[in-house]
Amino acid sequence: MKKISLILVTFFLIFGASGSYGYLVYVYDADSSNSESIIVQDEIVEEEGPETSENQTASNETEEPEDAELPFEVVGIYKCIDHDSEQRCWQTHVPDDLDTSTSVPLIVDIHGYSSNSTNHRGLSDFDSIADEFGAIILYPDGLTSQNPWDTDAHQGWNAGWCCGRPASENVDDVGFIEEIVSISLEIYNIDSDRIYASGWSNGCAMAQRMAMESSHIFAAVGCMSFYLLMTPNNNYSPIPVMEVHGFLDQVVLYESSVLSVPTNPEAWTDPEAIQTGAIENLYEWANLNGCTGVTPDFNDLQPLYSIQGFSDCENDSQVRLMTIYAAQHNPYAKDVGGEGPGILLPGTQGLVQSSYIVWDFISQFSK
C-alpha cells in the first residue's frame, strides 16, 4: 500500500449549540483499512406511522401516480414490496413544486445501524437539497436484527462484513435497493444518468457497496463515516466516490475500523477489517478507479475541514476524502435526534454543511 504522511495542525475554539467545538493536532499515515455505526432506534411503524420530520411534507405520503396498479403497497408514509420473502419498505421525498416535465436526479440516502428512514431523513438535509435543486430522494429501511450483545433490535445493512443479521445472513440489500430504484424510474420522471447514493455509517458502507456492485446504475456516491467493507467486484466500472469523516469519530475510528470488529463475526477472519481507515479507504478507491499519482492531486484546506483526493482517474471519475477536524461520528450539520446513544452524537452545529458539500461533488457527474 502506498504511504503518505501529512501533518496538519489546527487550533481553534468555536462555541456553538453544543459548546466548545474543537482543538486538533492532525497526523496521519496512509496504512490502515473498515467500521460501524450507532444511532437512534425506532421500529418501522405501520398504519399509524411515525411523526413527520421537519423537512417532510404531507404530499410525500400521498403523491403517487394514479394508475390502478402500483408496483408497491402503501403502508402509511412508506412504500413496501416483498423482496426475498421479507417486507421491505422505504420513504420517498418529492418536492411540492417539482417540475414533472423535466427529468430530475434521484438520490438514495441510507440510514445507519440502529437508525431508520425517518430519523435519518430528519438528520441528513437531503430533503432540503431536493427542494432547492430539484431532485427525488429515496430513504430505504434496513432489516431489523437482534444480536446477542444488544438489548434491543436494530435496523442495519449488509454492507459486507457489517452489520448485524443482514451481514451475517447475507441479506440481499443490493437487490432491494436496485429494485426500488427501478420502481422509481417507472413512476417518476427521473434522469437515469443522474442516480446517486449517500448514507451514514453502516449506510455509508452500504452506499459504497452499491458503488462497487451497481456501478452500472449509480453515477456517483458520496457518504458519511464508514468505508468499503467488501471484496472488490470484477464487474466494477469506476465512478466518483467521496467519503466524509470526522477526525474525532469515536464509533468508526478515523484510522481504523477495529471498534466494529468485535460485534461483527464476519470480520473476525478478515485481516482487512481492522486495517481500513479513512486514508486507506481513499487510496483503495483511488486504486479501484485507476487514478494516477502516488499522492493526492486535489487539496482544499479550509479552517474547519479539508478535502483531498485524486482527479485523474478512469472513466473521468474522481475520489475524495473530506476530513472535518473537530467532528465526531456525526458529520452532519444537525445533532442526532431522539433518545438513547444517538444524543451523544452532536453534529457540526451548521458550521460545516457536509451534505451540501457532498451534493456539490456528486451532482457534477452523470453517466
What are the tens digits of pLDDT across the range 124-152? 999 999 999 999 999 999 998 655 555 56
> What's the maximum distance between 2 C-alpha atoms anywhere in the chain?
61
Residue 2, pLDDT above cutoff 50: no
Which residue matches cell numbers 426475498? 84
Tell me what percent of the residues of the chain surpass a pLDDT of 70: 72
Residue 270, pLDDT above cutoff 80: no
Give the DSSP H/E element, type plus range, for residue 130. helix 126-133
Lowest mean pLDDT among 53-62, 123-132, 334-343: 53-62
Do residues 213 and 174 make contact, with C-beta atoms less than 8 angstroms apart? yes
User: How many residues are present in the chain?
Assistant: 367
Q: Is the dihedral of CA 240, 284, 243, 159 positive or negative?
A: positive
Rounded CA separation 37/204 (Å): 10
Q: What is the pLDDT of residue 256?
A: 64
Q: Shortest CA distance to 173 belongs to which of 204, 143, 129?
A: 143
**Average pLDDT of span 230-244:** 95
Q: Shortest CA distance to 250 belongs to which of 117, 120, 153, 346?
A: 346
Q: What is the pLDDT of residue 21?
A: 37
pTM (predicted TM-score): 0.79
Peptide bond into 291 cis (omega under 30): no
Q: What is the pLDDT of residue 343?
A: 59
Tell me what percent of the residues of the chain surpass a pLDDT of 90: 65
Residue 228, pLDDT above cutoff 50: yes
Rg (CA), the chain: 19
Do residues 361 and 345 make contact, with C-beta atoms less than 8 angstroms apart? no
Give the DSSP H/E element, type plus range, for residue 279. helix 278-288
Query: At what angle are helices 117-124 and 126-133 packed, to 10 degrees?
Result: 60
Lowest mean pLDDT among 207-216, 222-231, 267-276: 267-276
DSSP 154-205: EEE--SBS-SHHHHHTT--HHHHHHHHHHHHHHHS-EEEEEEEEEEBTHHHH
**Which domains does the chain possess?**
5-362 (3.40.50.1820)
Tell me: the pLDDT tens digits for 175-218?
Answer: 999 999 999 999 999 999 999 999 999 999 999 999 999 999 99
Name the residue with higher pLDDT: 8 or 362: 362
**Residue 255: pLDDT band by 50, 70, 90 thresholds?**
confident
Average pLDDT of the chain? 81
**Residue 70: pLDDT band by 50, 70, 90 thresholds?**
confident
CA torsion angle for 184, 366, 362, 180 (degrees, to 10)? 20
Q: Which amino acid type is present at position 266? A: E
